[in-house]
Structure 1
Amino acid sequence: MATSATCNGQYDAVMPVKRNERLRLRLMNVANARIFTLALQDLEGWVMALDGMPLAQPEVAGTLTLAPGQRVDLIVDVTAEEEALLVRTEPNGEGWVQVAFPVRGQATATRRPAPIALPPNPNMATSGLNDARPVELLMEGGAMGGMAGATYQGQALGMRELVQQGQFWAFNGTSGRTDSPLTRASLGEAVKVRINNQTAFAHAMHLHGMHFREVLATGYGPMRDTLLVERGEIREVAFVADNPGKWLFHCHMLGHAASGMSSWIDVG
C-alpha cells in the first residue's frame, strides 16, 4: 500500500516567503510509524528547541531526523533568490520535496544576525542525574526478532499464541501494559533507564509527564520526551521524577504500543 507524506494536510505543500525573511518553523512528526529525514535547501537555519524544550545555545540545522512524536523548533533565514526547499530523504536514498518555499519579493535589504537562545522553560534543572537509580528496559519481539514467548495478562504464552492475541512485542518479557509499573519513583528522585533494543526495528520511546536527557559519553544530551532507538542499540535516558502521577512510557509507533510496547512509571 502506497503512502503519501504531507505537510499541514497537503501533498506538495507550498509556502511563499520573502528573501531575507526570518521564519520560525515547528516541525512535528505526526505519522504513525514513519521516520522523516529532512534538510533545508537555500535556507539557513538553527535548531532552537527539541520536543518543546529550548537548547542552551542554538545549533546550526543540518540533517534533521524526526521519529513519530518528535518535534523540532527552527529559526530559518530565507537565503534563496527564487525558491527554497525542505527536502525529505527516503531510506532508499531518493530525495523528495516536502515543502517548497517560493520567494516572492524581499523582506529586508540585509540579513539579521544569528539568533540568540530562547529563554528556558520552568523546571529544566536536572541535578542529581549522576546518582540516578538504574532501571532496565529490554525490548523484544517483532518479525526477525527471535522472541520465543512472553507473559500476557498474567499468562506465559508462546509467540504463536501471542500473535493470536494481537501481541508482537514485549518489554522485559511482558507484552502489553500491566498493573505493575516499569518502576516506582519518589517525587524528586533521579532515575536512569537503560533501553536495550533487541528487535530488528527502530522504536521511538516516549515518556509522558516529564522530559529526560540522554546519557552520553560526554555528559548529558538536551532535554527531550521522545528518543529514537535504532535496531540493536542500547541507549540510556535519565530524568528527575518531578511530576507526580502515573505516566505512560511507550513506543510512539502506535501500532507497536498497541501490540505490546507499552508500560508506565509511577511517581509520587
Structure 2
Amino acid sequence: MTITRRGFLGAAAAVAGFARLSEAATLTADGFLEIRAARTKLGLLEGGAGETQAWILGQGPEPPTIRARQGMELKLRFINDLDREIWLHFFGVRGPSELMTINVRPGADEAVDCVFTPPDAGTFWIGPVAEQSLMRDMGLCAVLVVEEAEPLPDLGDIVLVLDDWKLDPAGAVEGAFGDVEAMVGEGRLGNWFTVNNRFRPRLPLAAGSYTRLRILNAANVRTMNLLFKGYDPLLLARDGQPVKPASLQGKALSLAPGQRADLLASAEEGDIRLALDLFEDVVEIGYLVVQERQHEPPALPENFALPANPTTTPVSPGTARTVSLTLAGGIRGGLTSALLEGREQDLRALLERGKGWAINGVAGPSPEPAFSAAKGETLRLEIDNRTAFPQPLHIHGHVWKDLRADAPSGLSDTVVIPPRETVALAFTADNPGLWALHSLVAERADGGLITSFSVEDEGGSPPT
C-alpha cells in the first residue's frame, strides 16, 4: 500500500451542501467541515464514571457521525492535534484513490482537505490504517452516513457504534500495545462493552414511525453477535450495500470488526434491549427506549427495499482471470519466513520487527502490488486462509461478491474466511488507483496481513 502522496485536494467550487456532524463542529468560511483528531477523557464506566484517556475524531464524547448526501459534493478538512501522524481510510467508500487513504501530520498547518462526491448511499466509516491496534483501541473513528439521493420518507435514524475496551477497574486503558502474543494470537480483546462510547446507554426510539439503525463494529478483534430483545428488526444493508430486506428471526446479527449493517426497527412492541451473545453468556449493552405512547407505524409496502447503489456486479466470474492469495501466520499458521521490506527473513526476525502474518509470502505493505487489473476487468480472487483463525478481509475502493453457494446475496466490502478454507470472490476493478486489501483485525493488519493491488487508468497507464 505504498501511498506516498499527502492526499491533499484544494478547495473546489460548489456548496458544502448536506455535510454536517451529529454533534457541533466547525464549518469553515470556505465551506469545509472541520474534523480534528484530538485527545479526550471519556467516562466509560457505569453512570459515566472513570476517566479513560482516549483519542477521538471530533468533539466527543460520542464517536462523530458525518452526514452527507449521495451525489452531492462532500468537503472535509482533517486536522491532527495528536503528537504523531495518522493514516486514515474511508472504509467502504468507492471514492477517488488519492483521497480514500490520507496521511494527516500533526499541526493545524498540516491540514488535509478531502473533496469528493460519494457515489453510494449507505453506512461507512473513517478509521486508521496504520498503528491500527493502538489508534482503534483508543477510539479513533468516525461514522460516515451517506443518505440516499432521494430522501426516504418517514424514517428515523440512529447510529450505534459498538466497541469493547480493555480497561482496568478505574477505567484506564489497560496493557501495553505492540504485544507479540496478541499480534500472533486472537488479538486485543476488550473486557468492557460500550455503545457510542457509553455504558448501557438508553437511546430514544420514536413511536409511530420506523427507525433505521446504522450499526458499526469498531472493536479491534471481537466479532459482535448482536441480539435484539423485544423486537425482530429487518436487515436492510450490509457494509453500506442494500440487501433484500429479511427478518433476523430472533438470531444474532454477526458483525466482524469494521463491518456495518442497517436495520429497520419500530417501537410498536415497546423498548428494545441490545445484547451480545458471548456464547458462554449474554450481556446487555444498551436500550432503545420508547419516548411516546405506543402506536403502530404505517404499514411498509410489500416491495420495500433500499434503492440500489450504482455498483458493478461481476459478470461471468467463472471465466474471469484468477488471482490467488494465501494468508499465513499467527499461532499454528504455517509461517516460517516472509519477505519484509524486500528481504527474506525468518520467523524470529519477523517477530522482532512486530510482524507475524503474510499474504503471498510478504509481511506488510510491499513496494510492488500483489496484482494489477485493467479498469473494468473482472477478477476472481481465490483466497486460501492457511491460518488457525477466521479472517475478516476488507477490500479498498471496491465491492465484491462471495461466490460460495451458501453466501448471502449482494455485494460487500468485507468477507470472513474460515480457518483452513479457501473462498472465491469476484469483483470488477472499476475504480482506478492503488488500493489495499487487509485484515480487519487491527493487530493482524499491523502484523503484516495487508497487501496492495492496482487498477490501471483507461489507456493502460498505471496509477500514480
Q: TM-score, normalised by structure 1?
A: 0.91
- Partners of 2:321 and 2:296 in 1: CA distance: 55
- Partners of 2:434 and 2:404 in 1: CA distance: 27
| Alignment coverage as a number of residue pairs | 265
Are residues 1:80 and 2:269 paired?
Answer: yes
Are residues 1:167 and 2:167 paired?
Answer: no
Partner of 2:403: 215
Are residues 1:108 and 2:295 paired?
Answer: yes
> Which structure has the highest strand share of the two?
1
Alignment partner of 1:23: what SS?
A: strand
Task: Quote the offset at 1:109 in angstroms.
Answer: 4.4
- Partners of 2:436 and 2:297 in 1: CA distance: 48
Alignment partner of 1:48: what SS?
A: strand
* 1:181-203 deviations in Å (ceiling 9; x for gaps): 12100111001111111112222
Task: Quote the offset at 1:22 in angstroms.
Answer: 1.6
* 1:97-140 deviations in Å (ceiling 9; x for gaps): 12212334335346623671111111343323232211111111
Partner of 1:179: 367
For residue 70 of structure 1, the aligned residue among 256, 259, 266 is 259
- Partners of 1:230 and 1:9 in 2: CA distance: 30
Partner of 2:245: 58
Verify the 8 A CA contact 1:42 1:79 in the aligned structure 2: no
Deviates more, 1:215-224 or 1:230-239: 215-224
For residue 319 of structure 2, the aligned residue among 131, 143, 165 is 131
- Partners of 2:420 and 2:224 in 1: CA distance: 20
- Partners of 2:277 and 2:408 in 1: CA distance: 28
The AA in structure 2 aligned to 1:4 is: W
For residue 330 of structure 2, the aligned residue among 132, 142, 145 is 142
Verify the 8 A CA contact 1:18 1:107 in the aligned structure 2: no
- Partners of 2:301 and 2:232 in 1: CA distance: 10
Partner of 2:237: 49
For residue 264 of structure 1, the aligned residue among 426, 446, 452 is 452
* 1:1-24 deviations in Å (ceiling 9; x for gaps): 553221111111211325554210
Verify the 8 A CA contact 1:44 1:77 in the aligned structure 2: no
Task: Quote the offset at 1:217 in angstroms.
Answer: 2.3
- Partners of 1:219 and 1:201 in 2: CA distance: 19
For residue 231 of structure 1, the aligned residue among 402, 414, 419 is 419
The AA in structure 2 aligned to 1:251 is: S
Task: Quote the offset at 1:233 in angstroms.
Answer: 2.6
Deviates more, 1:108-117 or 1:235-244: 108-117
- Partners of 2:374 and 2:282 in 1: CA distance: 48
Partner of 2:33: none
Verify the 8 A CA contact 1:129 1:238 in the aligned structure 2: yes
Verify the 8 A CA contact 1:80 1:103 in the aligned structure 2: no
**% same residue:** 29
| Runs (5+) with no aligned partner, structure 2 | 1-165, 168-190, 457-464
Alignment partner of 1:69: what SS?
A: coil
Q: Which has the higher contact order (CA 8 A, sep 6+)?
A: 1
Partner of 1:193: 381
| Runs (5+) with no aligned partner, structure 1 | none
* 1:166-218 deviations in Å (ceiling 9; x for gaps): 11001111111111212100111001111111112222111010000101226
Verify the 8 A CA contact 1:48 1:58 in the aligned structure 2: yes
Verify the 8 A CA contact 2:332 2:387 in the aligned structure 1: yes
Partner of 1:157: 345
Task: Quote the offset at 1:237 in angstroms.
Answer: 1.2
Q: TM-score, normalised by structure 2?
A: 0.54
- Partners of 2:232 and 2:301 in 1: CA distance: 10
